[in-house]
Amino acid sequence: MEQEWKRSPRVDSAPARGLLRSMQSDIERVLFDEPAIHKRLDEMAAQITADYRGRELTVIAVLSGTLMFTSDLLRRIPLPLKLDCLSAVSYHGSAQTSGQVIFKDADFPDVAGGDVLIVDDILDTGHTLAAVREKLETAKSRSVRVCVLLSKRKERAREIDPDYIGFEIEDEFVVGYGLDFMERYRNLPYIGVLRKELLQQPIR
């Protein structure tokens, strides 16, 4: 795995190597390394750019998991656009979604008349994106599309059919590149499967 990770010269620095050493024993295997993620982002950004040329694009990023994804994706989209962020929580400190989605923001972004692209890190049960979509229903936007970096192959509690998907993955718990387990691992530059026994840990 270290081999794979070192392929990117940008992350092959002393702090990055320290980060890797301290967390890599928790990772069962790497699914997508940094070059693979960036290659896929080039393709997604090209598609989004073609689809939204000449339109009023407003991106709504669902924080915190989309931080890296949104920042890397939007810098590849050469269109005038607006960015708004939403903070949604459904996990409440475990590896199982509670199904109850809480928005931390007092105000929802004003998207009236605009073409909205919701960006989320991973589609799992569908609760989060369904809740965001419901909030947008009253906002009178011109169009709403959904973009996710990862989509788990599984049956969902809520039906969501994203317009843009980075990678489809099996139903496993993954971390890195913004994705967390109990707020950790977000700063790993790759996406990897967390060792199963760590998911059973008591919540501190």
Smallest separation, CB 69 to ligand IMP (Å): 10
Q: Which of 98, 91, 95 is nearest to 198 (CA)?
A: 95
Based on CB atoms, which residue is closest to Mg ion, 81 or 130? 130
- End-to-end CA, the chain: 29
Based on CB atoms, which residue is closest to ligand IMP, 55 or 145? 145
Does the annotation count 121 as an active-site position?
A: no
Looking at residue 11, what DSSP letter applies? Answer: G
Smallest separation, CB 13 to ligand IMP (Å): 26
| Dist CA 87 CA 147 (whole Å) | 16
Q: Which of 87, 68, 81 is nearest to 111 (CA)?
A: 81
Out of ligand IMP, Mg ion, none, which partner does residue 178 contact, by CB within 5 to 8 A per kind?
none
Based on CB atoms, which residue is closest to ligand IMP, 83 or 162? 162
Which of 65, 166, 176, 178 binds Mg ion (CB under 5 A)? It is 65
Based on CB atoms, which residue is closest to ligand IMP, 56 or 180? 180
**Which phi and psi angles does 65 have, rounded to 5°?**
-60, -20
What's the helix, strand, coil split of the chain in %, to 5? 30, 30, 40
64 preceded by cis ω (within 30°)?
Answer: yes
Contacting range for Mg ion; rule: CB under 5 A; set: 60-68, 74-82, 96-104, 157-165: 60-68
Out of Mg ion, ligand IMP, none, which partner does residue 141 contact, by CB within 5 to 8 A per kind?
none
Smallest separation, CB 179 to ligand IMP (Å): 4
Out of ligand IMP, Mg ion, none, which partner does residue 127 contact, by CB within 5 to 8 A per kind?
ligand IMP
Helix and strand totals (H; E) in the chain:
6, 9
